[in-house]
Amino acid sequence: MAFVPSFSIVYESFRLAVGSLRSNKLRTMLTLLGIIVGVTAVIAVVTIINGLDSTVADAFSAQGSTAFSVSKRPLVITSREDFIRFNKRKDVTEQDAEALGRLCDTCWRVGTSINGTGLVKYGENRAENASVRGLSLEMFDIENVSLQAGRLWTDQEGRSGRPLCVVGTDIVDNLFEGRSPYSVIGQEIRIDGIPFTISAVAEPFGKVLGFSRDNFVYVPFEAGQRMFGSRDSIVIHVQVRDSALFETAKDDVRSIMRNRRKKEFSDKDDGFSIDSQDAFIGIYQNATSGIYFATIGVAVISLVVGGIVVMNIMLVSVTERTKEIGLRKAVGAKQSDILLQFMIESVTVTMVGGAIGVFTGYGLAYLLSFVLGFPLLISPSSAFLGVTVSFVVGMISGSYPAWSASRLSPIDAMRNE
């Protein structure tokens, strides 16, 4: 019983803490501020990054780690020199795709795309900078495109060069001003002046980081070639049946492609680039971990400052209440009782700050998620983290003031006026 404080003492200490916080609201508010800022930063960043992670993961899982692409230039080019070097490579062609389809056993689906942008018009309505892609039929499986209205062109329609297209929901919204997807099937739109008939409307993909992914027109690959073919190399997309085969398939594709380009073992450059979403995720993770650590740094600094403020205020509070401490000791409070009282007070301040911080942090994350359009993922663990951190700060900041209070002699304390 000697070392276990009774419930009444803990309760008394808690009551006191709340009382003293209430009696000096401005001071309490200022004391809380540092902790609030720190915890807000932690919660907001953790929540935002969780949300971003899930958005990015969703966005990329459309292809997932079962698909990769083969193209003339890599998706990410970081220097002008590289750009020039990659441009000197041979174009990737339909014949390459055909060869992969024939020779690569681990490749499940092989599709081709030719990509560009264009001005899409319907009457006077226009959609600028729409993504215009010529896709082989396999691409709709590889990229998991589903249709909400209409039908895909047939293989024969594609080969014969029928001017059919599949449009994204943004195109419907922009060109047809709120007409239903069904009602736009069969309408004729113009892509860079060339007429195409809408055969289907795709299900929306949604937004990633505030950017819509539904502003597109897909046309048959052959039609796309006619529009862009002379200007650019094509992209071959390969999908494996099982992600376990992913690396093997990449290797197979690499050796087949190198062979076709007559590359020797000593040639460093493949003469083509293989990209998968992993590369994007890597870049994304690099970027967000930077943000993560920077904000954690800010949070740590404000928590340290907040902790110092709390310690300062606690010291003031101990000095102000010297007489009270003396009285409490005179009527039988042990050193541990006084220590406990001030520790509880300090921890109460920081925990209140932490709790407010958790809410403002979520609030901030909510606002940002609203503006940037990613899901708000409130994880209980980040709230737990915020509260734990503020508990620890309270313990650390309170320990010295509480210790010095517990050491006061009742006589000296009560003499104090």
If the CB atoms of residues 317 and 382 are measured against other proteins, the closer one turns out to be 317
Indicate the helix (H) or strand (E) that contains 69: strand 67-71
List residues bridging with 135 in a β-sheet: 113, 220
C-alpha–C-alpha distance, residues 221 and 165, integer Å = 10
**CA 11 remoteness from chain centre:** 43
Provide the CB-side half-sphere exposure for 306 (13 A, CA): 33
Nearer to other proteins, 298 or 327 (CB): 327
Q: How far is the CB of 26 from other proteins (least distance, A)?
A: 17
Please state the closest distance from residue 332 (CB atom) to other proteins, in A.
2
Give the shortest CB-368-to-other proteins separation in angstroms: 42
Nearer to other proteins, 20 or 276 (CB): 20
Minimal distance, residue 318 CB to other proteins, in Å: 16
Measured distance CA(42)–CA(50) in Å, rounded: 12
To the nearest whole angstrom, how small is the minimum distance from the Cβ of residue 341 to other proteins? 11
Q: CB-hemisphere CA count at 13 Å for 137?
A: 9
In the complex, the smallest distance separating the C-beta of residue 9 from other proteins, rounded to whole angstroms, is 6
Q: 223 or 339, CB closer to other proteins?
A: 339
* Contact by Cβ (8 Å): 167, 201: yes
No. of helices (H) and no. of strands (E), the chain: 15, 12
Burial of 259 (0-12, 13-18, 19+ CB in 10 A): exposed
Closest CB to other proteins among 11 and 293?
Answer: 11
- The three-state secondary structure class of 396 is helix
Encoded amino acid at 339, one letter: L
Could you tell me the smallest distance in angstroms from the CB atom of residue 1 to other proteins? Answer: 7
Chain contacts with other proteins (rule: CB under 8 A): 1, 6, 8-9, 11-12, 19, 23, 323-324, 326-337, 409-411, 414
Cβ neighbours of residue 62 closer than 8 Å, sequence gap 6 or more: 143, 144, 205
CA distance 282 to 276: 10
The closest of 176, 103, 167, 104 to 135, measured between CA atoms, is 167
For the CB of residue 333, give the shortest distance to other proteins in the complex, in Å: 5
Residue closer to other proteins, measured from CB, 11 or 384: 11
> Considering beta carbons, is residue 162 or 329 the nearer one to other proteins?
329
**Tokens encoding 193:** 């002046």
Measured CA to CA, the distance from residue 300 to residue 296 in angstroms comes to 6
User: DSSP alpha helices (H): ranges in 180-276?
Assistant: 181-184, 221-228, 246-260
332 conformational bin, left if phi > 0, alpha if psi -120 to 50, beta if neither: left
Q: Which residue's CB is nearer to other proteins, number 178 or number 332?
A: 332
Tally Cβ neighbours within 10 Å of residue 157: 17
Nearer to other proteins, 116 or 410 (CB): 410
Residue 75 or residue 414: which is nearer to other proteins going by CB?
Answer: 414
Q: How far is the CB of 323 from other proteins (least distance, A)?
A: 7
CB of 369 to other proteins, least distance (A): 43
